Structure formats: structure tokens, C-alpha cells
A and B are shown apart, each in its own frame.
Chain A
Amino acid sequence: MSHQEQIVPHGHILRYTFTERLTHWFAGFSYVYLLLTGLAFWSPWCFWIALGLGGGQVSRMLHPWIGLIFAASVLRMFQLWASQMRSSAVDREWWKNIRYYSTNQDDKMPPAGRYNAGQKFLFWGFFWSAGFLLLSGVVLWFPTYVPWNFRSLRYLAVLIHPAAALLTIGLFLIHLYMGLFAERGAFGSVIRGDVSAAFAKRYHPGWYEEITGQATSPKK
């Protein structure tokens, strides 16, 4: 898609294409199911969640299948976004100034592109965690197929799976907080796709420049 096409009516800017939004919500809904059933298996204090979702047996049966959907959506996101998630000089500046970001002094932040350094961290954090979750998850899915002599695989899996899951939970909580509460307009953008020019200018000035700069310059 050209930058020209990203300018939508009312001076808004298309931030997420339909494919991007759909993929995001495939990942989002599957992740929430995995999180809830995973928490049920994690602690007896959360086991009631599994009962609410159809019982422990059903949760155990569906968790790995939903996990495959989640893994596939993460892979799709990798195809869509990996090239935009490379760390840049601006990102290194961004991390150095994160105290301004976390205290809402966004005007003091270096100009982020389409994704700021935090979002890139979230992306790679989820990507690598999903990889570890998938590998350990396959072992946990079929424990009876792991021969006794390879039992250390199972020992590793029961440790890696929750550890990687905990990492994603940390990322997920921050992601929810940013999208639902901190950055007004962000949640709508992953539903409807567009953001206001003010939003783009405020949070992703580099990206805003890139789009409007090219769009305003005469074509052909």
C-alpha cells in the first residue's frame, strides 16, 4: 500500500490494514484463552477458571489446539511486521529516555517511527516466547510419546513453558495497559484501523512525517 492510500477521509491515517487487524485479533483471542486455561493449570487457586470454561478435561484438550492457532498468528505477524521491527538509532535513544515516556512526557521523546522501541520489544518478546511455548508445548501435549530415556525433555518443558508464559504475561499486561488505558485511540486503531493525525503526530512522529511527507509531494 502506498502512503497516499494510507490517508483516509477526515485527515485520518490508516495504521493497521484489515489483514493486520484480523491477525492481531486471532492472536489476541487465542492468547486470552491460553492465558485463562494456562492459569488454571498453573495454580489450584485458578483452577475454577477451567471449570468455568467447560471443565479441566476440555481445557486440557483445547489448550494445545488453540496454542497452534496462536503460534500461527504470531508467525503471520512475523511475516507482516518483522521488517518494521528492526532496532534503529532512534530506538536506542528511546530506551535512554524511557523515564519520560513512562511519565507521559512524550514531547521529550525521540521521534518514533511506526513502532516505538517498546512496541518492538513487545513484538520480539512475544515472538521468541511463542517459539519456546510452542516447542515445550508440543512435549507437554504428548508426554506419553517421550521415551523414558529422553525424559529430560519433559523436565525442561515443564519449566520452560511456564517461564515463557510468565514473560508473555508481563508483556501482555503492559500491552493491555497501553492499548486500553494509557494511549487513547490505540484500541480503536486496531479495531477500525485508522488513527487521527494528532495521534500519529504525538506518538509516532517519524511515521507521520514519512506518510504525510510523501503524500503531499506531487506524484509522477
Chain B
Amino acid sequence: MSQATLRVQKISGHAGSVPGQDAQREYTVCKLIDTTTCIGCKACEVACMEWNDLPFGETSFDNTYQTMPETRWNYWNLILFNEHEKEDGSLMWLMRKNQCMHCAEPGCLAACPADGAIVQYANGIVDFQQANCIGCGYCITGCPFDIPKMNPKTNRVFKCTLCSDRVSEGLEPACIKACPTGCLHFGSKEDMKDLADKRAKQLREHYDFPNAGIYDPAGVGGTGVVYVLHDATKPELYGGLPADPHVPWSVKLWKGPLKWLGNVAMVGGLIGLFVHYLRFGPKAREDEDIQPGGPS
């Protein structure tokens, strides 16, 4: 929402260069979510609403520890709950804090046709600029995580900003600040990957989680939100976290080959018709008089 002190590196629907690109060195920031120590307290959900001044919305109870079925345009941070039965019959309560993943190669930004409606800052945060949003919803189609949500009243799309306004002032996102168990961390991508590696190793070697690992999907160029999972081979268990997320192939095809082919065909067609007219001219000359309204 705020880009006061944040440099921009990518702009949606933008013709021409990006102002300030590569002007300064910046850390790629990252949020680390350790699902193994999340107790589902929802402090992050509340902190998100508080800091971002999101209006109170109705919650729903579905006999689980989940506030509502999915994130909303004005509810950007939701802990997804899944009661998972292991092979030995014992239960696991899997909690995953769901929000925008801040992909390095954001599908929302690739799909967006509105100049400057979606930007990616040099620190990696993907942010929506609602003033420029035209409400087409292409970002919804571009996102492999089902994150952008439309405000039906204003037809503008909203999502987690990774508290870009706080981060630009050197603060951690609100959710990180509120977390009581230390399952949320914030820092440079490098540091967070290190920390995640250590935690995953600990889980593999000292706990009964031989498949523990990190979720930082390469299909979207890596994400600005990284998970530690008890079982990294089955991310779907965690509220449908996609195993291999990527920008939809049809969006890539549309914004890639089809666009080039279309542009070449349109410009080529115009030139071709013009040249045809220069070479062959009209089918009949003026003096042959086949205009309507005149004598036959």
C-alpha cells in the first residue's frame, strides 16, 4: 500500500523502464513460518486486522480451529486447520498460516493489465496499488495460491502487503510481532533459509519427523514466505498448499507466445494491407462510377 521508501523492481501492465530499478542494493525479505510450533492462537490474524485497520467481518464456526473457510478481501491472514490421521492412527493438528506468498515471479503481476496496479519492490514484497486497480480479476487467475480477493463493492483487489509500510520503516510485519510461540520469523531470505534449514534438520534428527523440510517452491521462483513442514513431501495436508505451484501455463502462453504472435500479426496485417493498396489500389477507378446515389 505504501511505497514511500521502497524501491520498485517490477510494475504490472507497464510499458517502458521501471524508475529506480537497480538504483540501490536491498535485501530480499522473507517471512519464515514454522508450522511445527504454531499453536493456532490467531494472534497473527488479529494483529493483521489491527495494523491494517481492516473492518470487522463475520466469522464462521465449522467445528475446527479455523476462523473462516478462506481469506477475504479484508481478511488477509488466516490459519488453516487440518486434523490429519497418521498411518498409526494417531492424530496431528496441522496449522498453517495462510497469506500471500510474495512469489519472486508473481503470477498476479504477470497477468495484471493495469499500469502500476501491482508492484514488486526491490526487497521482494509484492504489493497491490488499489488506486490503479481496474477490477478485472486477472490477478486472481494468475495466482497459484488463491490469494487475491475482490472487494465486491469497489471492484478492487486486496491481499497481504507483508506490511510493506512497516517494513519500509525497518519494522517486522504485524503478524511476526504478535506471534507468542516464536513460530514466525522475519529477516533476509538468506537468513530465514538458514534458520529454516536448522529447524528442519532438528526435526529430522531429534524428533520423529524424517520428512521434515522447507517449502520454498521453485515453480514461482521461490517465495517471500517460507514454511517449515513436518512432512515436506505432503504440503497438500496443510490446507491445500500446492506441491508444485507455478503460474498457470495458459497465463504464460497468453502473456508470452500468443502476445508476440498477435502483435506481429496485427502490425504485419496493417502493413500488408497498406502495401497491397499501394500495389493494386481499389478494385474500380473513380471514373467507372459505381458509387451509390449517382447515375447508374
State the A residues within 8 Å of B (CB).
10-12, 40-45, 47, 50, 55-57, 59-61, 102-104, 106, 140, 143-144, 148, 151, 154-159, 162-163, 166, 169-170, 173-174, 177, 181-185, 188-189, 192-199, 202-203
Contact = CB atoms under 8 A, between A and B. Distances in A.
Given A151-B141, A158-B250, A184-B283, A44 B14 contact: yes
Contact of B277 (A10, A11, A177, A184): A177
A140 B138 CA distance: 8
Given A11-B296, A40-B113, A148-B146, A162 B258 contact: yes
Interface string B267-283: 00110010011001111
B243 interface: no
B270 A173 contact: yes
A199 B292 contact: yes
Contact of B141 (A154, A185, A192): A154
Contact of B283 (A59, A162, A174, A182): A182
13 contacts: A12-B293, A57-B133, A57-B135, A61-B155, A143-B141, A144-B137, A151-B146, A166-B258, A170-B265, A173-B266, A182-B283, A198-B296, A202-B290
Which of A144, A148, A163 has the most chain B CB atoms closer than 10 A to its own CB?
A: A144
A192 B13 contact: no
B167 interface: no
Contacts of A156: 250
Contacts, number: 158
Contacts of A40: 113
Contacts of B251: 155, 158
Interface of B: 13-15, 111, 113-115, 132-138, 140-141, 146, 149-150, 152, 155, 248-251, 253-254, 258-259, 261-263, 265-266, 269-270, 273, 276-277, 280-284, 286, 288-296
B266 A155 contact: no
Contacts of A193: 292
Contacts of A189: 292
A106 B141 contact: no
Contacts of B146: 148, 151
B111 A158 contact: yes
A60 B133 CA distance: 10
A198 B277 contact: no
Contact of B113 (A12, A41, A170, A185): A41
A184 B290 CA distance: 7
Given A106-B283, A182-B277, A196-B296, 19 more contacts: A12-B292, A12-B293, A12-B296, A43-B259, A44-B15, A44-B113, A50-B134, A60-B136, A102-B276, A140-B136, A143-B150, A154-B141, A159-B254, A162-B262, A173-B270, A183-B284, A184-B282, A184-B283, A188-B292
